Structure 1
Amino acid sequence: MRKNFYFIYVLFAIAFLVTGSATAQNYFDNFPVKADPKIVGEKLSKHFLDSKHQLYFDRGIHYAEVCTWYGALRFAELTQNKELIKNLRNRFELLFHIEKNLLPPPIHVDQNMFGCLPLRLYSITKDERYRELGLPYADTQWTLPANANEEERSWDKKGHSWQTRLWIDDMYMITIVQSEAYKVTGDTKYMNRAAAEMVLYLDELQHPNGLFYHAPDVPYYWGRGDGWMAVGMTELLFNLPQNDPNRERIMKGYVLMMNNLKKYVNRDGLWNQLIDTPESWTETSGSAMFAYAMIVGVKNGWLNAEEFGPVARRAWLSLCNYIDDNNDLTEVCIGTGKKNSKQYYLDRPRIAGDYHGQAPILWCAYALLNK
């Protein structure tokens, strides 16, 4: 009888371990319909196609629209949705003629990141026009303009982009266009630039708690600002060659941030407008960026699945509850410049459907579907 009991116990233990292991691999499967990443991605991509351009004052298409467009394009690629690719490309085609005046001039970090979009389109279509349009946006980030000021010249002399300003937002804007330029050309100078720039920002701005002030003179952990760092490191690590000398340093900064973000998850399973301030409100755009960084980290083995899988899954499910009937993500902080005032961040208006929020939800959707 004892032998039979022992045998049954061993079988149960083995079954438990196997089931537990399978669960670790399936945190990103079996979602309810409302949170099915393919359905969510399709709805938000179609919604984007039906939306108007968002312009950046007199400087062309806004970077937040570029991020959303790029996300829809990546989603379309991954799901092999040729019709969606065609429609996203048709929207872009107007920029070659009727809407040419909406092309952002390559004069600022926010405008230069536009280049990631035509470069991605080139990777899909091999249409040389996209390559010719996109590469100058990557190149001019390291081409000092004649009217550069003293600070910009100083960064250039140090080998960094003249667009360096030590705002954490920059670490997506710079890394995404340089990464796409590398994929199109195979020239490692693009990744070397981006990696060195990221190390500079990590050394200057990351705190022992893994988080980042919005800028050196703004001592607040603003959600979406930190989100840009999280997705910037994620994109860079995904594209950076394994033997790159800066990879270890960037991975260290990424893991430190992810480990500490777990500590600040709020009761919604998301993160606050000011990450370390419990009385601030749940902000969805930064939360979606953190979720994306964790999803990609788990899928690539950078993060422990048992530890981070449940956090990322819960965040995705919660974010989907913030998508309204118009397929707009709600509770998105409006565009925000830096200011040394805690109340300024706490009082920022919240809106629905802003491209700052639509973009990272699309990123999460394609990351969840990527095997």
Structure 2
Amino acid sequence: MDRTDFARLGLLFLLFTSIIACKPTDESSKSSATASKSAELTVPKDLKWSERMMLSEMERVPKASMLDFQEKPRWSYTNGLVLSACAKVYEQTGKEQYYDYIYAYADELIDSTGTIETYKLSNQNLDMIKSGDVLLYLYPKTKEERFLLAMQTLDDQMESQPKTSDGGYWHKKVYPYQMWLDGLYMAEPFHIRYAQEYIDDEAEVQQIYDDVVLQFDLIQKHSRDEETGLLYHGWDESKEQQWANKETGNSPHFWSRAMGWYGMAMVDVLDFLPEEHPGHARIVTYLNQFAEAITNVQHESGLWYQVIDQGDRDGNYLEASGSSMFTYTFAKAVSKGYLPEKYEDVAQKAYQGIINNLITVEENGLVNLNQVCGVAGLGGNPYRDGSYEYYVGEIIRPNDPKGTGPFILASLELNR
């Protein structure tokens, strides 16, 4: 073998060893592929459920003004619900993308004069108060005068809102003499916080505290079923509505989300109602009665039915928004000391039921909340009669913000 042959062999040896050195092992190849796949995820799977759902909502609805499957930007309660949850995610993570999402909503819908786009005070619609929570959050951070002016407009609505003969706020001007459970969540957390933080007249503040508590007193008086402890969706003082019981004025069924709104209203209002106010202890009592009644109709999965007390009837289903709202209510109430520790177990069981039965995750990491009732109400046109068939017949869809918002709130409370 001559010198040339030795040189050729040397080159072949070097080439072979370099190939061996560069070839990845099976394990390193798998690791590389996993890292690549993880990098491609729209929503990372190593985050908490609260952040994963918030990111999923932002991916599905890049502009918060379009939440709730809207074709045009609007000011409404679902925006305020989801953005209140988003604010809590921001406070926990410090990630600016969440703050930017909140700010963009108010920036888009409130002009330089404080006028709120798509909002009409003359409608006297309690649903429209809910997004005021966004302004309560943003104004101290931005000091933008337009946000304060918009809050003042919403407070003006509360001052002029029509009332029943005993002082209960009508749900909307177009629904005269009617109190709905929904309305307490839509308006009272904003009403009491605005009074506490922006009204200087102490007598006026105390009057608003009294008015807020009165709304809960009246719901307990008119809407609570003494036998079960559950609460009817609506009450018509005039008893003129087709859906109203001619003796009591109540709607005919117990709708889970209506009671979910009421539960969240209680725990959120208690954040701002001074403990020394006599209404504080009363609302805590109402909350304990509520918790017992709701737990009595909890399904073995941990979830609750759309028509909450009639799980064995055809067409009924385990519904996501009410289940998420109850979970949030119980978890927060236990952490605040309003409910006994046993309700922590109820909340954990409910939350696990949501994860096991109602959550799905797409390949790109987007999180879906399934089996959410799209909407339900009373009266209107076409007329909603409040029957069992009506409640179970309304649209069911994934990722309705009336479910995703409370799911984020529940996830934050349980730190899951």
Letter in 2 for 1:141: M
> How far does the alpha carbon of each residue in 1:161-193 deviate from its partner, in whole angstroms, 9 at most, with x for none?
355621111111121221331343264444332
Q: Distance in 2 between matches of 1:275 and 1:102?
A: 37
Q: Distance in 1 between matches of 2:68 and 2:320?
A: 20
User: 2:32 aligns to what?
Assistant: none
User: 1:332 aligns to what?
Assistant: 372
User: 1:104 aligns to what?
Assistant: 119
User: 1:132 aligns to what?
Assistant: 149
Q: Does 1:171 align with 2:184?
A: yes
> How far does the alpha carbon of each residue in 1:185-208 deviate from its partner, in whole angstroms, 9 at most, with x for none?
264444332112121112111122
Report % sequence identity: 21
User: 1:36 aligns to what?
Assistant: 48
* Structure 1 pair 317–47 and aligned structure 2 pair: CA distance change class (3 A): farther
* Structure 1 pair 115–224 and aligned structure 2 pair: CA distance change class (3 A): same
Q: Are the aligned partners of 1:34 and 1:320 in contact in 2 as well (CA < 8 Å)?
A: no
Equivalent runs, 1:26-65 vs 2, <5 Å: 36-44=48-56, 46-47=58-59, 50=62, 52-54=66-68, 60-65=74-79
Q: Are the aligned partners of 1:142 and 1:162 in contact in 2 as well (CA < 8 Å)?
A: no
SS at match of 2:270: helix
> How far does the alpha carbon of each residue in 1:42-84 deviate from its partner, in whole angstroms, 9 at most, with x for none?
4345346525344889994332222112221232124333342
Q: Distance in 1 between matches of 2:255 and 2:47?
A: 27
Q: Distance in 1 between matches of 2:116 and 2:275?
A: 40
Letter in 2 for 1:119: L
Letter in 2 for 1:137: L
Q: Does 1:206 align with 2:235?
A: no
Q: Distance in 1 between matches of 2:50 and 2:67?
A: 24
Q: Does 1:264 align with 2:297?
A: yes
User: 2:234 aligns to what?
Assistant: 215
Instruction: Single out whichever of 358-367 and 348-357 deviates more from structure 2.
Output: 358-367
* Structure 1 pair 182–320 and aligned structure 2 pair: CA distance change class (3 A): farther
* Structure 1 pair 34–202 and aligned structure 2 pair: CA distance change class (3 A): farther
Equivalent runs, 1:311-322 vs 2, <5 Å: 311-321=346-356, 322=358
Letter in 2 for 1:356: K
SS at match of 1:180: helix
Matching residue within 138, 149, 152 for 1:121: 138
SS at match of 2:271: helix
Letter in 2 for 1:43: L
Q: Does 1:95 align with 2:109?
A: yes
* Structure 1 pair 343–87 and aligned structure 2 pair: CA distance change class (3 A): closer
User: Which runs of 5 or more residues in structure 2 are unaligned?
Assistant: 1-44, 172-176, 200-204, 236-243, 245-250, 379-384
Specify which structure has the higher proportion of helix: 1
* Structure 1 pair 317–179 and aligned structure 2 pair: CA distance change class (3 A): farther
User: 2:401 aligns to what?
Assistant: 355
Q: Are the aligned partners of 1:174 and 1:194 in contact in 2 as well (CA < 8 Å)?
A: no
Letter in 2 for 1:328: N
User: 1:292 aligns to what?
Assistant: 328
User: 1:309 aligns to what?
Assistant: 344
User: 1:231 aligns to what?
Assistant: 264
Q: Distance in 2 between matches of 1:333 and 1:317?
A: 20
SS at match of 1:166: strand
Q: Distance in 1 between matches of 2:87 and 2:401?
A: 15
Q: Distance in 2 between matches of 1:56 and 1:38?
A: 23
User: 1:29 aligns to what?
Assistant: none
Q: Distance in 1 between matches of 2:115 and 2:60?
A: 20
Deviation at 1:294, TM superposition (A): 0.2
Q: Distance in 1 between matches of 2:142 and 2:206?
A: 22
* Structure 1 pair 366–132 and aligned structure 2 pair: CA distance change class (3 A): farther
Deviation at 1:138, TM superposition (A): 2.4
Using the size of structure 1 for normalisation, the TM-score is: 0.79
Deviation at 1:210, TM superposition (A): 2.2
RMSD: 2.9
Instruction: Single out whichever of 81-90 and 164-173 deviates more from structure 2.
Output: 81-90
**Count of residue pairs brought into register by the alignment:** 328
* Structure 1 pair 77–124 and aligned structure 2 pair: CA distance change class (3 A): farther
User: 1:275 aligns to what?
Assistant: 308
Q: Distance in 1 between matches of 2:338 and 2:60?
A: 32
* Structure 1 pair 247–275 and aligned structure 2 pair: CA distance change class (3 A): same
Q: Are the aligned partners of 1:213 and 1:222 in contact in 2 as well (CA < 8 Å)?
A: yes
Q: Distance in 1 between matches of 2:271 and 2:60?
A: 26
Q: Are the aligned partners of 2:67 and 2:78 in contact in 1 as well (CA < 8 Å)?
A: no
Q: Does 1:342 align with 2:385?
A: no
